[in-house]
Structure 1
Amino acid sequence: MFGCMNKLSMLGAAMMLLASHSAVAAMGPFEIYEQALRNDPVFLGAIKERDAGLENRAIGRAGLLPRIGYTYNKGRNSSKATSLDERARNRTDERNYNSYGSALTVQQPLLDYEAYAAYRKGVAQSLFADEAFRGKSQELLVRVLDNYTKALFAQDQIDIAQAKKKAYEQQFQQNEHMFKQGEGTRTDILEAESRYELATAEEIEARNEQDAALRELGALVGVPAVDIGDLAPLGPQFQTFTLQPANFETWHELAISNNPNLASQRQAVEVARYEVERNRAGHLPKINAYASMRDNESESGNTYNQRYETNTIGLEVSVPLYAGGGVSASTRQASRTMEQAEYELDGKTRETLIELRRQFSACLSGVSKLRAYQKALKSAEALVVSTKQSILGGERTNLDALNAEQQLFTTRRDLAQARYDYLMAWTKLHYYAGTLNEQDLARVDEAFMVAQQPSP
């Protein structure tokens, strides 16, 4: 007897050890996000896109800085020079000689509006790249939590479907037993069987959705798919967050000033505006200062056996007069592009504010919905118990029991959905406001049962 108890104790200890190991191994959304920062190809591509975009500032500034050039040539020449002598006869002089030339030139734009507009365009393109990257960084937070909650909700649906199947199977066996004894009907059996098959279909659909979500998470962290056992479930004592700020007007102002997608779109308007200015500069004069040092020897037939050293400093003025109408057409084209960018900014602003309002309302109503579903769950559980008791008393039928169980399972599913919807609404509210950061995800992470690493 004692040996059996020892074996049971050892088995229990092993079970606890396995459970604690799986708990430690469970990953919360924040850990998935940290891995995604290193492995998500979309985010890694965004980093390179940002780095490339930031170079536009230096490219634009280059047009305002001095340009220094050096040329060098050395060659062997063979030529014939024909001239008239005193008797008016042709005289041919064959020349075989080396030629040499070098020049160092420095140019500095003094008045070049096209170069200035190109510089301001480069600055706007650099800011656009930076804001676009900030938007994709926040979008990664949303994608992680979205697929994480989808996988967990699918698991909840699988568990509910399996519980349904178990309950309907028991009901089916009970109805079949009662039918054989002449106390039930064939309809009761068919009803239980039908609902069992529907639960089976729901389980299959949930598994497909879960597989898709786990593969999306796998793509984020660089593996084919994440195992559902690696994800930390939502804690049973889930509590909603205090919404700060509490009024929508403040969220509205935050979105207008901080939303990275709106900020990048504003920079796109600036890019288009300075493209208009750059094209318009085709009608304006340019003034450059230049200095050069030249050293030439026998560079041409006229300078045969002659060496020149020339230093030059001066101004160069170029005035465009007519270019076939191309400058005006390019300016009009750029103006239409700028107007398009302005309309796109207006559309993006409206879309963002609509989504902001939707998520704000979802956060406010989500608190009441969760409270209502929690009460509904208790009522549904009590209804199942009372219905079964009423059946024994002959007051209810088997169909009533099936309906009560169906209502219980539906309420469980809706409660789970409401919890995940609330977390996503709270996250997306900060995303559309442009304030979503790692601290926000870490706060959401606390709602999940993420085991802490044991201290050594």
Structure 2
Amino acid sequence: MKPVFIALLLACSSAQAAMGPFDVYEQALRNDPVFLGAIKERDAGLENRTIGRAGLLPRLSYNYNKGRNNSQANLPDGRGGHYHDDRNYNSFGSTFTLQQPLFDYEAYANYRKGVAQALFADETFRDKSQALLVRVLTYYTQALFAQDQIEIARAKKKAFEQQFQQNQHLFQQGEGTRTDILEAESRYELATAEEIQALDEQDASLRELGALLGVHSVDIADLAPLNQDFAAFTLTPANYDSWHELAITNNPTLASQRQAVEVARYEVERNRAGHLPRVTAYASSRQQESDSSNTYNQRYDTNTIGIEVSVPLYAGGGVSASTRQAARSMEQAEYELEGKTRETLIELRRQFSACLSGVSKLRAYQKALASAEALVVSTKQSILGGERVNLDALNAEQQLYSTRRDLAQARYDYLMAWTKLHYYAGSLRDTDLAKVDEAFGPAQR
């Protein structure tokens, strides 16, 4: 009985352990269908290198045939006439052929295209791997921010309900006004609507997290909240130019787009090869017996080695048209690379600026929160002294809760900006998420 109890206790303890973003990421690596599909996409793409190389390597083939022949030969009889000779015989042929391209520009272009396709697949996978880190933290922080909004909305409801009851009591005693009652009631209903909206947003975020983990949904109690003393990270490097160079060099989206240009370039070369000759060395070993009426009852063993030259002369203009078409596709890929580069650098600058301004915003909101808390206390004391009215108390409470919400939003925004800055720079690693993970602690709700 005792071992069973201990096992249940351990199971309950592990079930109650809060997950940080890194824990979610580790589970997503095993369960997210988008990421698992990206692995297969990469594996399939890497085979293009081997497929392209095959065109440059020797090709060995074997051909065998055996048949039963019924034929009638019309032969001269030596006296100026002919006679018929019915022949029923077996025939067979056996051939080994070895071919080695000596000059085949199309095969070479296919090989280089396959290398570029393999690199494209690898860079695309690197992009999706980093994107998984961003998705995990996005859904995680959205769920936590929704929880903060829920708690703030419930605190507002409680405060406004108390204010409503107080105003109603004062009105019954002839000391308050009906306007004060309606104002408190209105604020309460608005807080209720905010709570409902936050609950819906949280449910959607938790389901998104569940989809990453392969479960129906995740309980908010399973997620570690952001530490209240979280401030900011040290931004390294500190200047934008270094991030700019890092993005140009390492961003996986740009790297994959550059490989797409290379794929298009060698597709042009492959089509252009339709105008060039091919030179192939070959060797064959052939055995034949009665393979035709001319070799009836004869057997030949033939070994051949030689060179074959094939020169294309005219293909109806199809080669030139295909080359022009491939050239236009390459130009399209180059423009797409330029567009993606501009888009990436714009986002990089946005996230860099958000990291810099985020530090100042966090300090400002922390000071504003302290001031808002002091304002609530001061306003309540002024009401007792007859210097303020109940509406002032409601406004002070509203300002306090709005500041709390804005501070929470600023913290999550900063974390996302820091993460996305590394993502657009192409330097986002699981170690970076582990650093972000340290900003979250055990649930204290």
TM-score, scaled to structure 2: 0.96
2:33 is matched with which residue? 41
Do the aligned partners of 1:117 and 1:275 also contact (CA within 8 Å) in 2?
Answer: yes
Give yes or no for the alignment of 1:218 onto 2:210.
yes
Q: What amino acid does structure 1 have at the position aligned with 2:330?
A: M
Matched, 1:92 2:106: no
Residue 258 of structure 1: aligned partner = 250
Contact preservation (8 Å) 2:49, 2:115: yes
Matched, 1:83 2:75: yes
Match in the other structure for 2:428: 436
- Quick check: 1:340 aligned with 2:332? yes
Question: 1:368 Cα shift?
Answer: 0.5
2:323 to 331, 346, 353: 331
2:230 corresponding residue in structure 1: 238
Which residue number in structure 1 is paired with residue 65 of structure 2?
Answer: 73
- Alignment counterpart, residue 151 of structure 2, candidates 159, 168, 189: 159
The CA deviation at 1:83 is 2.1
Segments ≥4 residues shifted beyond 2 Å: 20-24, 86-90
Aligned-partner Cα distance in 2 for 1:235–1:86: 113
Match in the other structure for 1:248: 240
Asked if structure 2 preserves the Cα contact closer than 8 Å seen for 1:24 and 1:450, the reply is no
Task: Give SS of 1:149's match.
Answer: helix
335, 342, 363: which is aligned to 2:355? Answer: 363
Q: In structure 2, what is the equivalent of residue 184 of structure 1?
A: 176
Letter in 2 for 1:64: L
SS at match of 2:60: strand
Residue 147 (str. 1) matches residue 131 (str. 2): no
User: Is the 8 Å Cα contact of residues 102 and 281 (structure 2) preserved in structure 1?
Assistant: yes
1:272-421 map, 5 Å: 272-421=264-413
Aligned to 1:3: none
Supply the distance in 2 between the matched residues of 1:450 and 1:359 (Cα, whole angstroms). Answer: 28
Distance 2:442 2:56 in 1: 56
Displacement after TM superposition at 1:23 (Å) = 9.3
Give 1:237 shift: 1.2
- 2: CA distance, partners of 1:23 / 1:160: 27
Give me the whole-angstrom Cα distance separating, in 1, the residues matched to 2:15 and 2:73: 96
Shift of 1:186: 1.1
Structure 1, unpaired ranges of 5+ = 1-16, 452-456
* Structure-2 separation of matches of 1:21 and 1:108: 67
1:14 is aligned to none
In the alignment of these two chains, the number of paired residues is 434
Structure 1 counterpart SS, 2:301: strand
Matched-pair identity in %: 81
Equivalent pair of 2:16/2:222 in contact (CA under 8 Å): no
Aligned to 2:50: 58
2:412 is the counterpart of 1:427: no
CA displacement, residues 210-250 of structure 1 (integer Å, 9 cap, x when unaligned): 00100000010110111100000001111211111001000
Instruction: Give SS of 1:182's match.
Output: coil
**For residues 404-438 of structure 1, what are the alpha-carbon distances to aligned partners after superposition, in whole Å with 9 as ceiling and x for unaligned?**
10000000000000000000000000000000001
Two-structure CA RMSD over aligned residues (Å): 1.4
Secondary structure at 1:288 match in 2: strand
Summarize deviations over 1:292-320 as a string: whole Å, max 9, x none: 00000000111000000111111100111
**Per-residue deviation at 1:89?**
3.2
Pairing 1:200–2:185 present: no
Match of 2:413, as an amino acid?
A: D
Quick one: distance in 2 between partners of 1:97 and 1:33?
A: 73
The alpha-carbon deviation at position 86 of structure 1 amounts to 2.7
Distance (whole Å) between structure 2 residues aligned to residue 165 and residue 417 of structure 1 = 20
What is the Cα deviation at residue 130 of structure 1? Answer: 0.3
Paired with 2:26 and 2:89, the residues of 1 have a C-alpha distance of 71
What secondary structure does 2:297 align onto?
coil
Query: CA 1:22–1:413 in 2, change beyond 3 Å: closer, same or farther?
Result: farther
Distance 2:15 2:189 in 1: 34
Query: Helix, strand or coil for the counterpart of 1:267?
Result: helix
Question: Which deviations, in whole Å up to 9, do the C-alpha atoms of 1:190-213 show, x marking residues without a partner?
Answer: 111111111111001101110010
Shift of residue 450, structure 1, vs aligned partner: 4.2
Q: 1:25 aligns with which of 17, 35, 38?
A: 17
Shift of 1:117: 0.4
Distance 1:301 1:204 in 2: 92
Contact 2:58-2:99 at 8 Å conserved across structures: yes
- Distance in 2 separating the partners of 1:72 and 1:244: 69
Higher mean C-alpha displacement, 218-227 vs 23-32: 23-32
For the pair 1:129 / 2:137, whether they are aligned, the reply is no
* Structure 2 alignment gaps of length 5 or more: 1-8
The letter of the residue matching 2:223 is L
SS of match in other structure, 1:79: strand
Measure, in 1, the Cα distance between the counterparts of 2:231 and 2:165. 40
Q: Which stretch of structure 1 is more off in the superposition, 266-275 or 69-78?
A: 69-78
Question: Could you say what secondary structure the match of 1:188 adopts?
Answer: helix
Preserved contact between residue 294 and residue 310 of structure 1 (Cα < 8 Å): yes
CA distance in 2, matches of 1:449, 1:411: 23
Cα 1:23–1:291 shift into 2, 3 Å: closer
CA distance in 2, matches of 1:352, 1:109: 43
Does the CA contact (< 8 Å) of 2:231 and 2:362 recur in 1?
no
Matched residues in 1 for 2:19 and 2:415: separation? 17
Cα distance in 2 for residues equivalent to 1:187 and 1:66? 93
Give the TM-score normalised by the residue count of structure 1: 0.94
- Change in 2 beyond 3 A, CA 1:175/1:23: farther
Q: Structure 1's 238 and 141: CA in aligned 2 closer, same or farther, altered over 3 A?
A: same
